[in-house]
């Protein structure tokens, strides 16, 4: 009955703006936000959600929706504890900046100044890695070391240095954005080295205690565990799995506590009478780094904060934001630095769309502050510009991106088509090498332009990309080119086994193939205990994956895709040749 009521409420349409609405009147904004959240919860089957909207010195709106635990009938509130996933990184970056202020760290010193034993394989003639590069995801470190990442008894952060010694750089430091969880785990290890404290304790003393964040921690305890929301993936309850990379994604918090953190950021480092960071440190945290890097393709990232992305109408400044996904928890923090507005959205349901809710909340509150109402958004219709078949043929080909997914962009008459997100997208030309995707439905009889999205083809530093813009962040696909497969890699084709004791999943297959001019590594996984509770690690590693490999030598091949780049490396031990990938050892 509750779901039916919610759907009926949504079907009635958004609340009307009062005729007497005026600047400073929050009643309509709160009413609309409440309606929108309930609509999204019904559309996405969200079990529980908490939100807090703040300015630089107070909470403007906070509320809980749905259930923290549907089975027990426990309602979600602003004080419900959630896993916040990669939102943890903006807190870790703030902790690092506090140590920079104290002279314990230097953003531009080599990381070996704080972790002398750090080393990593590299095929590049590269300068030393700095902490600034690590915090802005420009260090060239791999995205993950999956082995041991999601396990019941994870190794401490001190193990990260050893793990990285067996990995390889994906790009020369400082040259391009490459998101790295293991990089932020390494930053956490550096914090431990200079503070001589466990990372969770350093965060507690330096940030949480001064800000009065009494319901936040990088480690679970009985007090927080009792208030932790139950996680849901569809109708399934997802059992939490500990994360090794604590400083990258293990934080527990509430909408209320994270609202305090955002208040501090908006107040240039102060919270009430407490000075947590200097205004200069806050500015550094929110200022995009390495903006002149061509291979970033316009993506702007500060010290972990992403700049731009979500569209907030009526606002002249870009949004600073970060989202998080700790399966199945979904989180987002967003702020308008000059307007001094911030929002936290936390949910215990996968694919909750927290970023979209946060963007709309900022838009509504900005309407209140300015007194300028924004019309309802309309789908833009860019005029079609006919393209020559030869120009379209030059863009067609195989592309890889979005987590190593391969898609073929093909010409059909005077149109390009692409298979993306499980749909056939017709690409409507609107300018030179620029297209608007349109989804075709009902056997191609109807089509709908995807609002605000554009796909552009760009040639940068000898590489070809298809860049989808208009969402929260760019989605980049790199064009695959034919590379000769060395005989050494052809000989490695065949099935492999992988030791996964202690992991939350197991490989059901692992295979290297060299067919039709393509070198691939394919694997499939399943939960360690198929009949038991589903763990968070299972939701990341479940299913089948095929990685395209680009050989760079007889002993190394890299995973294709601008968001990939990890190395599969051949080595030998007493039992014969092995392959190494993301911490795992593959044996024939």
Show contacts of 7-11: CB within 8 Å, 24+ apart.
Answer: 7/42, 9/35, 9/38, 9/39, 10/35, 10/38, 10/39, 10/42, 10/43
Distance CA 562, CA 404 (A): 9
Say what the pLDDT of residue 377 is.
58
Four-way CATH pick for 487-587: 1.10.10, 2.60.120, 2.40.128, 3.40.50: 2.40.128
Distance CA 426, CA 419 (A): 9
Distance CA 54, CA 365 (A): 10
Distance CA 319, CA 381 (A): 25
Say what the pLDDT of residue 12 is.
54
Compute the residue count for the chain.
588
User: What CATH code is assigned to 82-370?
Assistant: 3.40.710.10
Residue 258 — φ and ψ, nearest 5°?
Answer: -70, -30
Say what the pLDDT of residue 37 is.
94
| Residue 92: cis peptide before it, omega within 30 degrees of 0 | no
Residue 545 — φ and ψ, nearest 5°?
Answer: -135, 140
Distance CA 561, CA 402 (A): 8
**CB distance 422 to 441 below 8 Å:** no
Q: Which two tokens stand for residue 41?
A: 């919860």
Residue 184 — φ and ψ, nearest 5°?
Answer: -75, -30
Say what the pLDDT of residue 75 is.
97
Say what the pLDDT of residue 531 is.
42
Say what the pLDDT of residue 371 is.
79
Q: Where are the beta strands (DSSP E) in 295-337?
A: 300-301, 306-307, 320-326, 329-336
Q: Where are the beta strands (DSSP E) in 442-552?
A: 446-449, 454-460, 463-469, 475-479, 494-495, 497-498, 505-515, 518-527, 534-535, 543-551
| DSSP codes, 432-464 | TTEEEEEEEETTTTEEEE-TT-EEEEEEETTEE
Q: Which residues pair with 556 in a beta bridge?
A: 569
CA angle 183, 187, 188 (to 5 degrees): 115
| DSSP codes, 363-394 | HHHHHHHH--PPPPP----PPP----HHHHHH
- Which of 437, 519, 449 minimizes the C-alpha distance to 475? 437
Say what the pLDDT of residue 287 is.
97
- Which of 248, 247, 277, 244 minimizes the C-alpha distance to 263? 277
Half-sphere CA count of 363, side-chain side, radius 13 A: 19
Show contacts of 288-295: CB within 8 Å, 24+ apart.
Answer: 289/132, 289/136, 289/138, 290/133, 290/136, 290/138, 290/174, 290/177, 293/138, 293/174, 293/175, 293/176, 293/177, 294/460, 294/461, 295/171, 295/175, 295/176, 295/177, 295/460, 295/461, 295/463, 295/562
Say what the pLDDT of residue 450 is.
63
- Which of 328, 429, 366 minimizes the C-alpha distance to 55? 366
- Which of 302, 257, 298, 299 minimizes the C-alpha distance to 282? 302
Say what the pLDDT of residue 316 is.
83
Query: Cβ-count burial of 364 within 10 angstroms (0-12 exposed, 13-18 middle, 19+ buried)?
Result: buried
Say what the pLDDT of residue 537 is.
44
Distance CA 514, CA 151 (A): 33
SS3 content of the chain, % helix, strand, coil (to 5): 25, 30, 40
Say what the pLDDT of residue 446 is.
43
Query: Cβ-count burial of 421 within 10 angstroms (0-12 exposed, 13-18 middle, 19+ buried)?
Result: middle
Say what the pLDDT of residue 424 is.
85
Distance CA 347, CA 332 (A): 9
- pTM to 2 decimals? 0.92
**CB distance 411 to 396 below 8 Å:** yes
Say what the pLDDT of residue 103 is.
97
What lies within 8 Å, CB to CB, of 118 at 6+ separation is 111, 112, 129, 161, 164, 165, 186
DSSP state of 254: -
Per-residue pLDDT of the chain (588 residues; tens, 9 = 90+): 233 233 233 445 677 666 666 777 788 888 889 999 999 999 999 999 999 999 999 999 999 999 999 999 999 999 999 999 999 999 999 999 999 999 999 999 999 999 999 999 999 987 899 999 999 999 999 999 999 998 888 999 999 999 999 999 999 999 999 999 999 999 999 999 999 999 999 999 999 999 999 999 999 888 999 999 999 988 888 887 889 999 999 999 999 999 999 999 999 999 999 999 999 999 999 999 999 999 999 899 999 999 987 777 778 889 999 999 988 899 999 999 999 999 999 999 988 788 889 988 999 898 888 878 776 656 556 678 888 899 999 999 999 988 778 899 999 988 899 987 778 889 999 989 999 988 765 444 444 556 678 899 999 999 999 999 887 778 899 999 888 999 999 999 999 999 988 888 889 999 999 988 899 999 998 877 544 444 444 444 557 889 999 999 999 999 998 888 999 999 999 899 999 999 999 999
């Amino acid at each position: 009955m509750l779901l039916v009521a919610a759907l009926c409420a949504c079907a009635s349409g958004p609340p009307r703006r009062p005729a007497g609405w005026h600047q400073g009147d929050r009643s309509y904004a709160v009413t609309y936000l409440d309606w929108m959240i309930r609509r999204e919860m019904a559309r996405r089957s969200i079990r529980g959600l908490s939100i807090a909207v703040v300015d630089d010195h107070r909470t403007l709106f906070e509320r809980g929706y749905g259930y923290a635990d549907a089975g027990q009938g426990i309602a979600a509130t602003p004080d419900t504890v959630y896993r916040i996933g990669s939102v943890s990184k903006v807190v870790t970056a703030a902790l690092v900046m506090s140590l920079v202020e104290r002279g314990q760290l230097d953003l531009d010193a080599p990381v070996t100044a704080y972790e002398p034993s750090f080393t990593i394989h590299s095929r590049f003639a590269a300068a030393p890695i700095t902490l600034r590069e690590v915090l802005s995801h420009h260090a060239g470190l791999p995205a993950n070391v999956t082995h041991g990442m999601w396990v019941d008894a994870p190794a401490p952060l001190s193990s990260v240095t050893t793990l990285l010694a067996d990995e390889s750089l994906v790009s020369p430091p400082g040259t391009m954005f490459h998101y790295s969880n293991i990089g932020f785990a390494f930053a956490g290890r550096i914090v431990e080295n200079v503070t001589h404290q466990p990372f969770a304790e350093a965060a507690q003393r330096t940030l949480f205690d001064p800000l009065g964040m009494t319901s936040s921690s990088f480690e679970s305890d009985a007090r927080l565990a009792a208030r932790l929301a139950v996680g849901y993936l569809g109708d399934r309850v997802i059992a939490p799995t500990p994360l090794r990379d604590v400083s990258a994604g293990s934080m527990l918090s509430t909408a209320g506590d994270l609202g305090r953190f955002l208040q501090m950021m908006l107040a240039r480092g102060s919270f009430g009478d407490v000075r947590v960071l200097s205004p200069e440190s806050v500015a550094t945290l929110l200022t995009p780094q390495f903006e002149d890097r061509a291979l970033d393709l316009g993506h702007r990232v500060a010290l972990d904060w992403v700049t731009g992305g979500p569209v907030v109408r009526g606002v002249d400044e870009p949004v600073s934001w970060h989202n998080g996904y700790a399966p199945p928890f979904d989180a987002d923090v967003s702020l308008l630095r000059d307007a001094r507005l911030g929002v936290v959205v936390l949910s215990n349901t996968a694919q909750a769309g927290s970023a979209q809710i946060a963007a709309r909340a900022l838009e509504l509150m900005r309407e209140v502050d300015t007194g300028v109402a924004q019309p309802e958004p309309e789908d833009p219709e860019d005029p079609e510009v006919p393209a020559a078949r030869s120009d379209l043929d030059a863009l067609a080909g195989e592309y890889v991106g979005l987590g190593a997914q391969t898609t073929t962009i093909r010409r059909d008459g005077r149109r390009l088509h692409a298979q993306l997100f499980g749909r056939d997208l017709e690409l409507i030309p609107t300018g030179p090498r620029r297209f608007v995707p349109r989804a075709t439905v009902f056997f191609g009889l109807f089509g709908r332009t995807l609002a605000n999205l554009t796909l552009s083809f760009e040639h940068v530093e000898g590489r070809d990309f298809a860049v989808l813009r208009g969402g929260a962040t760019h989605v980049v696909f790199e064009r695959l080119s034919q590379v000769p497969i060395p005989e050494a890699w052809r000989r490695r084709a065949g099935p492999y086994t992988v030791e996964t004791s202690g992991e939350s999943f197991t490989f059901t297959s692992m295979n290297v193939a060299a067919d039709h001019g393509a070198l691939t590594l394919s694997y499939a996984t399943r939960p360690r205990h198929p009949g038991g509770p589903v763990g968070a690690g299972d939701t990341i590693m479940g299913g089948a994956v095929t990685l395209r490999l680009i050989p760079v030598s007889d002993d190394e091949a890299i995973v294709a895709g601008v968001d990939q780049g990890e190395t599969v490396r051949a080595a030998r031990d007493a039992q014969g040749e092995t392959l190494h990938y993301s911490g795992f050892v593959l044996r024939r």
